[in-house]
Amino acid sequence: MYPSIKEVAACDDYILSVSFENGEKGRLDIKPMLDFGIFRRLKDDETFRRVRVSFDTIQWDCGADLDPEYVYKKCVKSGSGFAGFVLSLFLRLQLPYSV
């Protein structure tokens, strides 16, 4: 079972900051989705920034939404300790990284 999404905020460069009901937080890069179907509408920055939590997942005014299990699995989680610090630094500075 996956935790529900508690909060979501749009960040620069098509990144979502996501908080889950279990206290975990993460970032989700949706750039890979922007060339497909309804997600093309999110290329408009104003549309992208109108993201919200709907029930237990993420939704936009244009009708695009994401499966909550997908969001949880694909989020780059903010950890604790040194590794979490380094990851959060990379995310804040928007440096390229791989997981």
User: What are the structural domains of the chain?
Assistant: 5-93 (3.30.2020.10)
> What is the band of 93 on the pLDDT scale with cuts at 50, 70, 90?
low
pLDDT tens track for 10-57: 999 999 999 999 999 999 999 999 999 999 999 999 999 999 999 888
Question: How much is the average pLDDT of 72-81?
Answer: 75
Q: What are phi and psi of 37, to 5 degrees?
A: 45, -135
Using CA atoms, how far apart are residues 81 and 61, in angstroms rounded to an integer? Answer: 37
Global pTM value: 0.76
